[in-house]
């Protein structure tokens, strides 16, 4: 499967000789490791460009690296993930690392298959985006290869985490809706049964945050959680259920923008209007939420920053696999739009 | 970067011994090649499951394969691509091949970098989805590794193609709008300058198909093409331009659903309504088009079938690299929805 009849490949040794530095220095620049001065970087970059050097993943570079970072995505349709991915790819743009995505990780079995495939293929590091795997599986991955997990709370020595403060995010939504006069504020959550995951998953934290905030605003008696899934269909089914209540909610906090899409679909189907009959808020501040004709109030959890933080942690881990594990939590912000309005009744 | 302290890896030889077949037979089943009977497949699958065999990409199997298929995507945000990807992954689900996606191929330079990275990493085959590279680049890729190109017309001995009949698709849209009484039907196209690409790119064919169909319906004098790009922003800018015309069009054919998103945004911003003031049609029949509150008339080019056809062609090419190149063209269908309506004036 190797290209035929190519000219001799430029190696890291050629680059070092051309740049008049050591191969270790070249390796450091390629890995974007600490300890390479800006001048050194410039020298090596110039040599790389002049010689047309590409890290040879087939034959492997020094230290057995493949210069490949694997990223798993549970659902390519969820418009939040491109934001994270942008943060990852732009952060890696100045390194020699190539990102390869494992698609279709929408189940524990699929997630295991893709992560094993990535380990088999000698990836230098793995970023798991919103995984649903058990902690035990993630620790197996983390002990095989430097790993950062995005969108999962809890700490483990085997991997680093980057997450949004989901309790705070849910409180922002409830506070916003309560401030608009709503009391019957319902929440559509992702159904979660596994007890370990319950303490770690963003969806569970958002549902917790919702309950806490309802209490804090004296709205405990109106607490109403429908348990479906973080998909468009989950939002659709959840809304059907809510609209069938003897007394309907006046506002719905969907746990994710993709859930809110299903809410809007069900509301339109029922001949009701947003925000006239129902205020709707999502979570993730996707391009869909920002889309003019939709204009969905949402929570921005800074997908790009999450991706950037994950890359920083991963490159540190690759450089020093024994280092202490780190957890980064980012504060969300509320982006109010036309889908939520003052209650008039 | 190899996992530490694992039990000895199960090899293809173990699988063959356990299944009581030859290693060649196992290899055939793994590659989903012709010449493996259903009984043989069942035997080998059972042995694979019982032994927990995973093709070892690091060490490579027989024939030097990595059991990895690289797929390039120009824009992960375009909601058409998940359909193609679904077709690819489901078709490969019964094989040992793992799909890895190269993200961010939204320029010739990026496309070249990602495809080179895939060749370097010994991918067994590459599927280029809607590439913008020159034919020369695609032929270089195709001569290095079995390659199938989705969404590109024209034939080359170096790769196979799977494309939609874009001229027919454009004619379906114009015919539909003309049938609703529209005459001032404008088109937003993707700006294309490269003369070779002009004959090969779906966007150019759609613009051609639009012009031809306008002639056929006796609407030549109303032909009005705005040249931006196949992005949401392209649709937005194109619509701003159209709405500033002394006499506005009554219908817009956006070359892609993602372009139509920008059209809807600009129309809403101008305080106009769809389809009251402007009928809007897209192309790709994405989940966005099907989304109730949007309900966008669109052309279905069968993304799943495109993905499935690409996999079939690719597996054939991997099995027989010398085989004649093939071009598959699929017929599109129109999906009329609420965004287009009869002209009343």
Q: Summarize pLDDT for B113-139 with one digit per residue, the tens.
A: 899 899 988 899 999 999 988 899 999
Query: What does the alpha-carbon distance between residue A306 and residue A163 come to, in Å, rounded to a whole number?
Result: 7
State the residue for tokens 């003309």.
B178
Q: What is the mean pLDDT of residues A26-52?
A: 79
Q: What is the mean pLDDT of residues A293-307?
A: 94
Query: What does the alpha-carbon distance between residue A55 and residue A67 come to, in Å, rounded to a whole number?
Result: 7
* Yes or no, beta carbons of B77 and A81 under 8 Å apart: no
Q: What is the mean pLDDT of residues A56-82?
A: 75
Query: What does the alpha-carbon distance between residue A182 and residue A250 come to, in Å, rounded to a whole number?
Result: 7
Contacts of A2 in chain B (CB under 8 A): 122, 144
Question: Who contacts A136 (Cβ-Cβ below 8 Å, separation ≥6)?
Answer: none
Residue of A nearest to B90 (CA): A104
> For B217-302, where are the alpha helices, taking DSSP H only?
232-243, 257-269, 287-290
State the residue for tokens 């040879």.
A56
Residue of B nearest to A287 (CA): B77
Helix/strand/coil for A242: helix
Closest CA to B62 of B89, B37, B96: B96
* Yes or no, beta carbons of A101 and B98 under 8 Å apart: no
Residue of B nearest to A98 (CA): B117
**CB-closest option in A58, A113, A232 to B121:** A58
For B206-237, what is each residue's pLDDT tens digit?
999 999 999 999 999 999 999 999 989 999 99
Summary mean pLDDT of chain A: 89
- pLDDT score of A4 more than 50: no
Closest CA to A80 of A252, A310, A255, A229: A255
* Yes or no, beta carbons of A58 and B287 under 8 Å apart: no
Structural domain spans, chain B: 12-54, 68-164+302-331, 166-300
Buried residues in A39-75 as b, exposed as e (16+ CB within 10 A): ebeebbeebbeeeebbbbbbeebeeebbbbbbbbbbb
* A15–chain B nearest CA distance, Å: 18
Contacts of A99 in chain B (CB under 8 A): 102-104
Buried residues in B64-100 as b, exposed as e (16+ CB within 10 A): ebbbbbbbbbbbbbbbbbbbbbbbbbebbeebbbbbb
Burial of B193 (0-12, 13-18, 19+ CB in 10 A): exposed
**CB-closest option in B79, B99, B104 to A103:** B99
* A340–chain B nearest CA distance, Å: 17
**E strands along A123-182, which residues?**
125-129, 147-150, 160-164
Q: What is the mean pLDDT of residues A101-110?
A: 83
Per-residue pLDDT tens listing for chain B (345 residues): 333 444 456 777 888 888 888 888 887 787 766 677 888 888 888 888 788 776 655 545 545 688 899 999 987 777 788 889 999 999 998 888 999 999 867 788 889 989 989 998 889 999 999 998 889 999 999 999 999 999 999 899 999 999 999 999 999 999 999 999 999 999 999 998 778 777 889 999 999 999 999 999 999 999 999 999 998 999 999 999 999 999 999 999 999 999 999 999 999 999 999 999 999 999 999 888 999 889 999 999 999 999 999 999 999 999 988 889 999 999 999 999 999 999 986
**E strands along chain A, which residues?**
68-72, 98-102, 125-129, 147-150, 160-164, 185-190, 224-228, 251-254, 279-281, 298-300, 327-330, 333-335
- pLDDT score of A152 more than 50: yes
Q: Percentage of residues in chain A with pLDDT exceeding 70?
A: 92
Residue of B nearest to A85 (CA): B103
Question: Who contacts B187 (Cβ-Cβ below 8 Å, separation ≥6)?
Answer: B170, B206, B207, B210, B224, B225, B226, B252, B253, B254, B255
Query: What does the alpha-carbon distance between residue B79 and residue B284 come to, in Å, rounded to a whole number?
Result: 9
The tokens for B31 are 């590659």
* B82–chain A nearest CA distance, Å: 7
Contacts of B82 in chain A (CB under 8 A): 76-77
Contacts of B65 in chain A (CB under 8 A): 1
> For B180-301, where are the alpha helices, taking DSSP H only?
195-200, 202-216, 232-243, 257-269, 287-290
Global pTM reads 0.81
Question: Number of CB pairs < 8 Å for A and B?
Answer: 139
* Yes or no, beta carbons of B1 and A76 under 8 Å apart: no
The domains spanning B12-54 and B166-300 adopt the same CATH topology: no
Q: Please count the residues of chain B.
A: 345
Partner residues linked to A99 by β-bridges? A69
Question: Who contacts A251 (Cβ-Cβ below 8 Å, separation ≥6)?
Answer: A177, A180, A182, A184, A185, A186, A278, A279, A280, A281, A340, A343
Question: Who contacts B253 (Cβ-Cβ below 8 Å, separation ≥6)?
Answer: B170, B173, B174, B177, B185, B186, B187, B188, B210, B281, B283
Q: What fold, for A12-54?
A: 434 Repressor (Amino-terminal Domain) (1.10.260)
* B227–chain A nearest CA distance, Å: 22
* Yes or no, beta carbons of A77 and B76 under 8 Å apart: no
Query: What does the alpha-carbon distance between residue A39 and residue A36 come to, in Å, rounded to a whole number?
Result: 8
Measured at the alpha carbon of residue B268, what is the angle toward residues B266 and B273, in degrees to the nearest 5? 120
**CB-closest option in A1, A144, A265 to B65:** A1
Query: What does the alpha-carbon distance between residue B41 and residue A89 come to, in Å, rounded to a whole number?
Result: 40
* Yes or no, beta carbons of A57 and B121 under 8 Å apart: yes
Could you say which of 3.40.50.300, 2.60.40.10, 3.40.50.2300, 3.30.70.580 is the CATH number of the domain covering B166-300? 3.40.50.2300
Terminal alpha carbon distance of chain B = 70
Helix/strand/coil for A65: coil
* Yes or no, beta carbons of A292 and B264 under 8 Å apart: yes
Query: What does the alpha-carbon distance between residue A198 and residue A219 come to, in Å, rounded to a whole number?
Result: 24
- CATH code of A68-164+302-331, in short, is 3.40.50.2300
Measured at the alpha carbon of residue B246, what is the angle toward residues B244 and B250, in degrees to the nearest 5? 80
* A327–chain B nearest CA distance, Å: 23
The tokens for A194 are 């596994």
Query: What does the alpha-carbon distance between residue B129 and residue B103 come to, in Å, rounded to a whole number?
Result: 11
Residue of A nearest to B9 (CA): A120
Pseudo-torsion of CA B155, B159, B162, B167, nearest 10°? Answer: -20
pLDDT at residue A5 in the model: 40
């Amino acid at each position: 499967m190797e290209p035929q009849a190519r000219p001799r490949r430029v190696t890291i040794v050629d680059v070092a000789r051309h740049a008049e530095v050591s191969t270790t220095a070249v390796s450091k620049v390629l890995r974007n490791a600490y300890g390479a001065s800006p001048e050194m970087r410039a020298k090596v970059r110039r040599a790389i460009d002049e010689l047309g050097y590409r890290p040879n993943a087939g034959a492997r570079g020094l230290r057995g690296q493949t210069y490949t970072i694997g990223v798993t995505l549970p659902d390519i349709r969820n418009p939040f993930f491109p934001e994270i991915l942008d943060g990852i790819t732009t952060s890696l743009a100045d390194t020699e690392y190539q990102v390869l995505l494992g698609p279709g990780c929408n189940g524990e079995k699929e997630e295991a298959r893709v992560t094993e495939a990535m380990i088999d293929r000698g990836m230098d590091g793995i970023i798991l985006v919103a995984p649903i795997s058990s902690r035990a599986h993630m620790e197996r991955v983390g002990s095989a290869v430097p790993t950062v997990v995005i969108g999962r709370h809890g700490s483990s020595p085997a991997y680093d985490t980057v997450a949004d403060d989901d309790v705070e995010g849910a409180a922002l939504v409830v506070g916003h809706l309560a401030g608009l006069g709503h009391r019957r504020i319902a929440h559509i959550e992702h159904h979660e049964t596994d007890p370990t995951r319950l303490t770690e998953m963003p969806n569970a934290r958002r549902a917790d945050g919702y309950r806490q905030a309802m209490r804090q605003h004296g709205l405990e008696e109106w607490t109403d959680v429908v348990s479906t899934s973080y998909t468009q269909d989950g939002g659709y089914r959840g809304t059907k259920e809510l609209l069938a209540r003897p007394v309907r909610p006046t506002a719905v906090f969907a746990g994710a923008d993709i859930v809110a899409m299903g809410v809007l679909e069900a509301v339109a189907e029922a001949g009701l209007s947003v925000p006239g009959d129902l205020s709707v808020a999502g979570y993730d501040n996707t391009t869909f939420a920002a889309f003019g004709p939709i204009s969905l109030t949402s929570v921005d959890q800074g997908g790009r920053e999450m991706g950037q933080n994950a890359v920083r942690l991963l490159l540190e881990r690759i450089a020093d696999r024994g280092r202490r594990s780190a957890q980064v939590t980012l504060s969300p912000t509320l982006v109010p739009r036309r889908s939520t309005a003052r209650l008039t009744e």
